[in-house]
């Protein structure tokens, strides 16, 4: 394996920490630089098992700060960038859209500029991998899938900011010849998931016997993928994906929110030794999310056919592993749900 230096942005976050761990352990000859601002969603606890590895370095920097980004790039001279740093929660984007413009749009352009400047026109062996979401495609009705050819139609401030960042990545490829590749993935779940998103929020509330807030009628549908399978897909596309192309990544695993929450309740009742049906009684239908996208579903045929990727675990297995992780990492959960989280939660779920 050739020696490489790769900057992974957002490596202290949920998905980023799994990508960093995969790269640090699988590629001992690579130098992996984790560039992260450590916002409320970034947590170095996520990486404590690999933090002392000789091929791992952490750099605290905010991608909105162009000079700070440039300094990290000049110091480490990366051959590759895997860009995950983002504001990632739709509900927060509804209350604070500008934060999403700064980090997701301006931050991405700062990274593109730093990369372009560093690599000049010598692109041999170089690659900028932009990690994006299926939410850029908008919402589906009851049938159909998002393919790589689906037009962009974002609805939330989050998806609008991610769509904008995707367009900038293509613009830098088209205008300056920057070697890029993109992945657009469906909803992830797994260990280290911050409990503002559906699955970890419900796990946390079930543990604490708190109401389980299901938005609207609960019939909204998402495609769920185990986070380690997303990290495996990023590894494959980064190394073997065709230049300037995008790959959709998804689990072929659609669930209506209400059915998913019921499955979680069943698995958790068993694991917590509660009588069957106990946790389901906590389900509470609450005010809907404004502009709530009805359904996301990914057609992941391209990455499967071209690169041989497919999910490695079933949803039931992945969910069971996820619950086990949260039950055996109660301190992690307590740390991230104290302080600011309580203010966020009380405001978001005031009803
Ligand atoms: P996350 O919110 O858990 O983590 C984001 C990370 O980025 C944190 O470590 C945070 O500290 C860092 N960060 C935020 N703003 C920053 C800034 N200005 N400068 C430097 N670092 C900053 O997010 P996640 O769920 O791990 O998502 C990672 C990426 O994957 C995002 O780009 C997201 O859009 C994309 N994605 C997420 C999902 C999902 O289901 N979570 C699905 C598809 C794509
Ligand atoms: P989320 O995990 O926020 O991911 P996204 O909005 O990016 O898909 O939400 C997943 C689904 O769960 C979405 O349809 C909104 C719904 N949801 C609830 O019903 N209750 C909640 O408390 C949360 C956070 C989400």
Token pair listed for 339: 């302080």
Candidates 3.40.50.1820, 3.30.70.1290, 3.30.420.40, 3.40.50.720; CATH matching 5-192+224-252+297-312:
3.40.50.720
**Per the structure block, which two tokens stand in for 162?**
């991610």
Q: How far apart are CA 163 and CA 155, in angstroms?
A: 10
Question: Residues 8, 16: contact at Cβ < 8 Å?
Answer: yes
pLDDT of residue 1: 54
Residue 3's pLDDT is 86
What's the pLDDT score for residue 2? Answer: 66
Q: Which residue among 93, 159, 198 is best mutated to probe the pocket of ligand 2, counting the most ligand atoms within 8 A of its Cβ?
A: 198
**What does the domain layout of the chain look like in residue ranges?**
5-192+224-252+297-312
* Residue 222 CA to ligand 2 centre (angstroms): 9
Ligand 1 atom nearest to 102, measured from its CA: 18
List the catalytic residues: 134-135, 158
Q: How many helices (H) and strands (E) does the chain have?
A: 13, 12
Centre of ligand 2 to C-alpha 220, Å, is: 9
pLDDT along the chain (351 residues), means of 10: 89 98 98 98 98 98 98 98 98 98 98 96 94 98 97 98 98 97 98 98 98 98 98 98 97 97 98 98 98 98 98 97 98 95 96 71
Our CA angle for 87, 325, 83, nearest 5°, is 30
Atom of ligand 2 nearest to the CA of 218: 19
Question: Using a 6 Å CB cutoff, which residues line ligand 1?
Answer: 10, 12-16, 36-39, 41-42, 62-64, 84-88, 103, 107, 131-133, 162, 185, 187-188, 194
Please give the distance, rounded to the nearest whole angstrom, from the Cα atom of residue 349 to the centre of ligand 2: 13
């Amino acid at each position: 394996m050739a020696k490489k230096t790769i900057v992974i942005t957002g490596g202290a976050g949920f998905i980023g920490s799994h990508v960093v761990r995969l790269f640090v352990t699988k590629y001992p000859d690579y130098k992996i630089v984790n560039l992260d601002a450590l916002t409320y969603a970034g947590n170095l606890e996520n990486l404590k098992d690999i933090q002392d590895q000789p091929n791992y370095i952490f750099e605290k920097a905010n991608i909105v700060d162009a000079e700070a980004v440039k300094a990290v790039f000049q110091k480490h001279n990366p051959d590759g960038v895997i860009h995950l740093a983002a504001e990632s929660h739709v509900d927060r984007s509804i209350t604070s859209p500008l934060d999403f413009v700064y980090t997701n749009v301006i931050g991405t352009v700062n990274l593109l500029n730093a990369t372009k400047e560093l690599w000049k026109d010598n692109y041999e062996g170089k690659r900028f991998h932009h990690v994006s979401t299926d939410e850029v495609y908008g919402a589906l009705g009851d049938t159909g899938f998002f393919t790589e050819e689906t037009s962009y139609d974002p609805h939330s401030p989050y998806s609008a900011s991610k769509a904008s960042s995707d367009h900038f990545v293509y613009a830098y490829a088209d205008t300056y010849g920057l070697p890029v590749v993109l992945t657009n993935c469906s909803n992830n779940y797994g260990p280290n998931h911050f409990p503002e998103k559906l699955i970890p929020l419900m796990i946390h509330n079930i543990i604490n016997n708190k109401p389980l807030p299901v938005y609207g009628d609960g019939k909204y549908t998402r495609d769920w993928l185990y986070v380690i399978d997303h990290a495996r897909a990023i590894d494959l596309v980064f190394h073997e994906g065709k230049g300037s192309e995008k790959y959709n990544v998804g689990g072929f695993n659609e669930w209506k929110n209400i059915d998913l929450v019921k499955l979680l309740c069943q698995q958790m009742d068993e694991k917590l030794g509660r009588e069957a049906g106990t946790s389901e009684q906590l389900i509470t239908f609450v005010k809907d999310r404004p502009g709530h996208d009805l359904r996301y579903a990914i057609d992941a045929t391209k990455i499967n056919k071209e690169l041989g990727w497919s999910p490695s675990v079933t949803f039931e297995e992945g969910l069971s592993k996820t619950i086990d992780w949260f039950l055996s990492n109660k301190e992690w959960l307590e740390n991230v749900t104290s302080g600011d989280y309580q203010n966020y939660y009380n405001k978001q779920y005031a009803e």
